[in-house]
Structure 1
Amino acid sequence: MVDKQVRGKYTLEYKLEAVRQVKAGQSGAVVAKVLGIPSSNVSNWVRLDAKGQLGGVVPSQKAPVVTAEQMELARLRAEVARLKMERDIAKKGRSVLCAGCAAKYAWVRQMSGKAWPVSLMCEVLEVSTSGYFNWKRGQDAPGHGPSRFQSDEALLAHMRAIHAEIKGEYGWPRMHKELLARGIRVGKERVRVLMQRHGIKARTKKKFVVTTDSKHHLPVAPDLVQRRFNPEAPNLLWSGDITYIPTDEGWLYLAAVLDLHSRQVVGWSMQPHMQTSLVKDALLMACWRRRPAKGLIFHSDRGSQYCSHEFQTTMKAWGISSSMSRKGNCWDNAPTESFWGHLKVACVLGQRFATREQARTAILNWMAFYNHSRLHSALGYLSPMQYEQRWLAAQRKNAA
């Protein structure tokens, strides 16, 4: 049995990520929705972080004296943060920097409500904020919305904006579905031809080094899944694995837990090492968030971290059964391998991270996008969150 007081916890890494998103400009409600937690938790964590108590450190009771040097330092930090935002906007919007106003407005609309304010995006792209809102009102007017027939130029503006937003991950089938999801009526053949004609294509994948250490004498669990990766409900079958991200500071190792019903990332941990605590923290994050009933199967490779006594004991405490793929057979954990491939295309290929923190931020932003927005072919071109929400709605309707 798992103690009830333990079940309500969240890992410190998870709390810090919520606070980081709020400090980056997101509202507490949006962060709570993205991370799938109550908004009151986010508010409490932000308050504790401001007091220096989020990590369990209690500050001095005496109020600190703010000096002129500290105020100037705070101003400089704010200016650096703004410059970083401008740099990121220019980097993500480079595909429309030399385009016309309509393409730039379309890109701003695609990105609005996410990481940056509309006024700053317009400033970096050298278009007026008032012009953007006038254009948006015209797009939203009856008979003039995005669902009307689009010229090739207007359609290309939308496709380039989407291509920049998802970092070149989509080929024409997903691009077509994404356009339809955004209310833009267009045929799939037209999308394919325009993308081919204008060089808009998905980034290709490459092979990466295997991180699995299966040369050990620890007990190995049988394969309970047998490549049956489509459970009928959430929290019946999870999968986990480890990958790595190169940075100038050294490797950053990422352990993730996927719920295979919706392919949603339900737990993760990033550390500069591959010790057992890496995979244990990822599993605990998933358990504390999802509160699975006994009988859940956790599928992984035969790596020493997953076979360790510490990790197996943690699973037993939660009533989770261990399942492991065959040695050297990546197809036995294909959904997770596919997830790594998409992440590497989005966050690693062509990127150079000076610090682990830069890599961590890029990965967290992409995983939030993956859970909430990225269309998944195995889910009928829905995002993992959309798929799970529709499934839950259908269950409530059938029970009524």
Structure 2
Amino acid sequence: MSNRSKRYTEDFKNTIVELYNSGKTLSELNSEYGASKSTIKLWIKKAAPIQIDKNKTITTAEYQTLIKKMAKLEEENEILKKGYGHICKEKLDTVYNFIKDNKDNYSVKLMCNIFNIPRSSFYKSLTITESMRSIKNKQIQAHILKIYKDSKKRYGAIKINYKLRQININISLKRTQRLMKKLGIKSVVCKKFRPFPSKSKVEEKKNILKRDFNASRINQKWCTDITYIHTIKDGWCYLASVMDLYSRKIIGYSFSKSMDSKLAINAVDNALNLQKPVKPLVLHSDLGVQYTSCEFENYLLGTHLLTHSFSAKGCPYDNACIESFHASLKKEEVNLVKYYDYNSAKLAVFQYIESWYNRIRIHGSIGYITPQQCEDNCKKYA
């Protein structure tokens, strides 16, 4: 199969470059991870440093990103100038105050040019006498801020208005609200979130797979699960994996410090992006909250390809294949070492899955070949 048809994530590319910089040869990387030497050279070239000055370098990719950012900034600046007449004309005081507050940091000429106002108009505004109401509002705002901070940001407009009245500042609630909005403050207190109790009954969902782990082709049946990996510095980290039941290959995975729906979604999303299935398929998981969440279910509906199948409550045998993979990961890698932090664990997981498990480790269930060989054979004779 041509390397041109293979797809790699940015994380995969960056890790390969990191391994090359640590001493791995192109031949070793080609043999262990399946990417061609010319492709790896291209990744290395994009990551090569460009000298900016004596003390700073950037990569080719970063340089191209900077060019795009500059073009975007120029476009945004043009939009700002054109939109000023529609947005800021009625708020000249706000613009003048901004220029006044920042004139020690930026050029007045430049700021006036950006906001498309004459410098003479700005300098004229400096001589205008501030109104008594404006002065009074600033005094009241100082009291509001003190009350707000003394309450540890817990008070809202009603309580702050009450405290103002106690110190003989008798203003309306509406005025208090307006001044608080101008200051950009509001009560940080919110209603307590009441989660479902942990002992609540788990709703049983449809098991389409029914322990039939056989498949006639790749991208027909997938299974997914999450496991825990401990690190000394960062504590528990979490790995979500997706396996193709035909090849037993780990086709998608995600590693994170948080065990949430996003972790589960990222793993499936990686699998979809790499495999590019064109026919509907079954995705099997357990009844974990990450997989039964509305966020995960909405994501699956958006793909229009994945039909969700669930294990029975408390029955790991319904998802035995992915459970077996995680057990192998623990026995063959994780339990043999102690990872210092998240990054060292992530690199170890990457090497185990991409180099060892998918490309070297043979499996009895697929005729004692590697998952990658099984997938390649399926594509060859498809």
TM-score tier after normalising by the smaller chain length: 0.5 to 0.7
- 1:92 matched residue in structure 2: none
Q: Which of 354, 362, 366 is the aligned partner of 2:340? A: 354
Q: Which of 274, 290, 300 is the aligned partner of 2:285? A: 300
| Correspondences of 1:196-207 after superposition (within 5 Å) | none
Q: CA deviation at 1:24?
A: 3.5
Q: CA deviation at 1:46?
A: 3.5
Q: Deviations over 1:246-271 (max 9, x none)?
A: 11021121111111101001111111
- 2:310 matched residue in structure 1: 324
- 2:358 matched residue in structure 1: 371
**Do structure 1's residue 280 and structure 2's residue 265 form an aligned pair?**
yes
Q: Using the alignment, how far apart are the partners of 1:283 and 1:322 within structure 2?
A: 12
| Correspondences of 1:77-96 after superposition (within 5 Å) | none
Residues 204, 312 of structure 2: 8 Å contact kept: no
Residues 14, 285 of structure 1: 8 Å contact kept: no
Residues 205, 312 of structure 2: 8 Å contact kept: no
Q: CA deviation at 1:37?
A: 6.2
Aligned residue identity for 1:64: D
**Do structure 1's residue 268 and structure 2's residue 266 form an aligned pair?**
no
The alignment partner of 2:379 has SS state of helix
- 2:368 matched residue in structure 1: 381
| Correspondences of 1:141-290 after superposition (within 5 Å) | 221-249=205-233, 250-290=235-275
Q: TM-score, normalised by structure 1?
A: 0.52
- 2:53 matched residue in structure 1: 64
Q: Using the alignment, how far apart are the partners of 1:215 and 1:29 within structure 2?
A: 54
Alpha carbons of structure 1 residues 232 and 350: separation in structure 2 relative to 1, 3 Å: same
Q: CA deviation at 1:242?
A: 0.4
Aligned residue identity for 1:253: Y
Aligned residue identity for 2:366: L
Structure of greater Rg:
2
Q: Using the alignment, how far apart are the partners of 2:284 and 2:378 within structure 1?
A: 23
- 1:49 matched residue in structure 2: 47
Q: TM-score, normalised by structure 2?
A: 0.55
Identity rate, percent: 31
Q: Deviations over 1:49-87 (max 9, x none)?
A: 3359xxxxxxxxx813149xx9xxxxxxxxxxxxxxxxx
- 1:337 matched residue in structure 2: 323
Alpha carbons of structure 1 residues 48 and 41: separation in structure 2 relative to 1, 3 Å: same
Alpha carbons of structure 1 residues 252 and 362: separation in structure 2 relative to 1, 3 Å: same
Unaligned runs of 5+ residues in structure 1 are 1-7, 53-61, 71-212
Residues 11, 284 of structure 1: 8 Å contact kept: no
Q: Using the alignment, how far apart are the partners of 2:32 and 2:46 within structure 1?
A: 20
Alpha carbons of structure 1 residues 40 and 349: separation in structure 2 relative to 1, 3 Å: same
Residues 247, 353 of structure 1: 8 Å contact kept: yes
Aligned residue identity for 1:259: D
- 1:119 matched residue in structure 2: none
Q: Using the alignment, how far apart are the partners of 1:305 and 1:247 within structure 2?
A: 22
Aligned residue identity for 2:14: L
- 2:16 matched residue in structure 1: 18
Q: Using the alignment, how far apart are the partners of 1:215 and 1:37 within structure 2?
A: 48
**Root mean square deviation, CA, Å:** 3.2
The alignment partner of 1:63 has SS state of strand
Alpha carbons of structure 1 residues 388 and 11: separation in structure 2 relative to 1, 3 Å: closer
Q: Using the alignment, how far apart are the partners of 1:38 and 1:336 within structure 2?
A: 29
Runs of 4+ in 1 over 3 A off after TM superposition: 8-15, 24-52, 213-221
The alignment partner of 1:314 has SS state of helix
Alpha carbons of structure 1 residues 36 and 284: separation in structure 2 relative to 1, 3 Å: farther
Alpha carbons of structure 1 residues 17 and 282: separation in structure 2 relative to 1, 3 Å: farther
Q: Using the alignment, how far apart are the partners of 1:247 and 1:21 within structure 2?
A: 21
Q: Deviations over 1:312-347 (max 9, x none)?
A: 222222221111111110000000111011100111
377-386 or 34-43, larger mean C-alpha shift: 34-43
Q: CA deviation at 1:354?
A: 1.6
Alpha carbons of structure 1 residues 28 and 377: separation in structure 2 relative to 1, 3 Å: same
Residues 229, 260 of structure 1: 8 Å contact kept: yes
Aligned residue identity for 1:285: N
Q: Using the alignment, how far apart are the partners of 1:215 and 1:43 within structure 2?
A: 54
Alpha carbons of structure 1 residues 51 and 360: separation in structure 2 relative to 1, 3 Å: same
Alpha carbons of structure 1 residues 370 and 247: separation in structure 2 relative to 1, 3 Å: same
Unaligned runs of 5+ residues in structure 2 are 1-5, 58-196
- 1:315 matched residue in structure 2: 300
Alpha carbons of structure 1 residues 30 and 335: separation in structure 2 relative to 1, 3 Å: same
Q: Using the alignment, how far apart are the partners of 2:369 and 2:362 within structure 1?
A: 5
Aligned residues: 235
Q: CA deviation at 1:300?
A: 0.6
Residues 202, 313 of structure 2: 8 Å contact kept: no
Q: Using the alignment, how far apart are the partners of 2:55 and 2:223 within structure 1?
A: 49
Residues 239, 299 of structure 1: 8 Å contact kept: yes
Alpha carbons of structure 1 residues 37 and 275: separation in structure 2 relative to 1, 3 Å: farther
Q: Using the alignment, how far apart are the partners of 1:14 and 1:260 within structure 2?
A: 23
Alpha carbons of structure 1 residues 374 and 247: separation in structure 2 relative to 1, 3 Å: same
